[in-house]
Structure 1
Amino acid sequence: MSERTSQGRLPQRTYSWRIAPRHALAASALCWAGFAFVAWAVATGRSGPIDDAGLLFWRRGAELVPAGPTWLLEAVRDLTSLGGVLLRNLVLVGVLAALLFLRLRREAVLLAGTVAGGWIVNSLVKAAVGRPRPLIVPHLTEAGGQSFPSGHSFNSAVVYIAIALAFAAMSPRRSVRWTLIVTAVILSLAIAFTRVWLGVHFPSDVAAGWLGGAGWAFLASALLHRPAKAVAEKAETTLDALTPAGDTSPNRPSA
């Protein structure tokens, strides 16, 4: 990337350090293989004992209340809200605005396409499977719709890993890129875990949801990069055509 100019313009991005497509495809393949295995276990009834044990593991007493202090329950609810529709999309909108402000149109288009595609994939799988939510423990938060795969787990993995991949493209240092990606993985896994803790999903729901969401995020990184680049370049060409010749305004967007 070039240095900031004396006129105060944002640095012009000439290339990015995105994750190698072959690495993204390999990560995606591993995740989708895991998703297929979990889906097979659910379809054949083999996930039942693990699902029941996972839901009951930290429940105590006749009322099956979760172990731990009251503040822990509130903390879990706060964490799970990061994967909910409102906060998740607020984070997404803020990140898209930041990418556009930094003139990283390609990354913004790729992020938006990844998230939109992931939402469609998750919705189609939920409708196809039609698994009801668990009823063996009390629900500690409101939840509706089908259970498999977990929408919180799937969509939070898509959004936060895709955001990490977008910002990783801004750093030439591999350690920085992988720190961003690993942090997003840990955060999305924590969100997935809360769905079981709150009793609104089976462990197999969140395992499949997270694996599918992560798999989609990495797959989109590899396959949607060129289409996103084409859309961004078309927008830049249109902007150039509308900009008067010789315009050197500090607000003139760079590539």
Structure 2
Amino acid sequence: MPLRTLSTFVTTLRARSAAELAPFAVLALAAAMLALFGKIADEVLDGQTHAFDEAVLRALRNPADPADPLGPPWLEHVMRDITSLGSFTVVALVTLGAIGYLLMDGKRLAAVFVLFAVAGGGLLSEALKLVFARPRPELVAHLVDVQTASFPSGHAMLSAVAFLTLGALLARVQSRRRLKAYLIFVAIALTILIGASRIYLGVHWPTDVMGGWCAGAAWAMGCWVLANWLQSRGSMEQTDANGPANRV
């Protein structure tokens, strides 16, 4: 066998092995996120996180005025804008836009799956809030209006569910690794910024946001594994750039 042919064969084999192992690695990471969520939830229920939560919220406010967040005035406005990206309205609009694109591209089952992934994650977030029923922090003034329970953070969880799911979907239609990495990075960065804004605005304890990140990431990764399995069985259209359902 010529050296060039052998090298191509080895490269192809490695790429195929990595693709086959990826779902197992993602599933293991999702399980780790669930385990971390369980640990955080257990400590929240036992009151073991109170000192940490309180210290972080106090550190982000003026010691002389708990209603005054640290930083210049414009930073508060920026945080209000960022936090709105994780609201139900914005996430719903982004999700509907993605679903519309998939429907126009002839990927009806993929569109249904995206709706299931995001809507299911949102319903799970609300169910968890009802189960834990943790009160919102009253240690500092709330800089935005809130009405629901505190744990887990709905903004943190919903943004993780929606943006990680859509980021992974967009990454699958790219053949260049640099673009794939960029899309995933943007999805993760948005999720982190939205969660951090909830703490800065005083409407969530830090552990609320951490729990939301863990639960949302676990749900998104579980959906990614399920989507791969359905596509391998031919039960859902391929979204990969080289998949049979794609057209020029």
Fold-level similarity (TM above 0.5): yes
Distance (Å, rounded) in 2 between the aligned partners of 1:19 and 1:56: 44
Identity percentage over the alignment? Answer: 36
Distance (Å, rounded) in 2 between the aligned partners of 1:210 and 1:159: 12
The question of whether the paired residues in 2 share the 8 Å contact of 1:131 and 1:147 is answered with: yes
Say which structure, 1 or 2, has more relative contact order (CA 8 Å, 6+ apart).
Answer: 1
Deviation at 1:101, TM superposition (A): 2.3
Q: Which runs of 4+ in 1 moved over 4 A?
A: 224-229
> What one-letter code is carried by the residue in structure 2 that aligns with 1:150?
S
The question of whether the paired residues in 2 share the 8 Å contact of 1:38 and 1:204 is answered with: yes
Query: Number of matched residues?
Result: 220
Match of 1:25 among 7, 24, 27: 27
**Aligned counterparts, 1:45-194, within 5 A:** 45-64=47-66, 65-194=68-197
Closer/same/farther in 2, CA of residues 29 and 216 from structure 1, 3 Å limit: same
- TM-score (ref. length: structure 1): 0.79
Deviation at 1:108, TM superposition (A): 2.2
- TM-score (ref. length: structure 2): 0.81
Match of 1:213 among 200, 216, 228: 216
> What one-letter code is carried by the residue in structure 1 that aligns with 2:29?
A
The question of whether the paired residues in 1 share the 8 Å contact of 2:199 and 2:206 is answered with: yes
Distance (Å, rounded) in 2 between the aligned partners of 1:107 and 1:232: 6
Once structures 1 and 2 are overlaid, which stretch shifts more, 207-216 or 176-185?
A: 176-185
RMSD: 2.3
Closer/same/farther in 2, CA of residues 105 and 174 from structure 1, 3 Å limit: farther
Distance (Å, rounded) in 1 between the aligned partners of 2:22 and 2:184: 13
Q: Pick the structure with more helix per residue.
A: 2
Distance (Å, rounded) in 1 between the aligned partners of 2:42 and 2:213: 16
Distance (Å, rounded) in 1 between the aligned partners of 2:169 and 2:62: 43
Distance (Å, rounded) in 1 between the aligned partners of 2:224 and 2:123: 17
Q: Which runs of 5+ in 1 are unaligned?
A: 1-16, 234-252
Deviation at 1:139, TM superposition (A): 0.2
Q: Deviations over 1:18-52 (max 9, x none)?
A: 99322321221221122112112112211111100
Once structures 1 and 2 are overlaid, which stretch shifts more, 194-203 or 59-68?
A: 59-68
The question of whether the paired residues in 2 share the 8 Å contact of 1:115 and 1:159 is answered with: yes
Q: State the SS of the aligned residue for 1:124.
A: helix
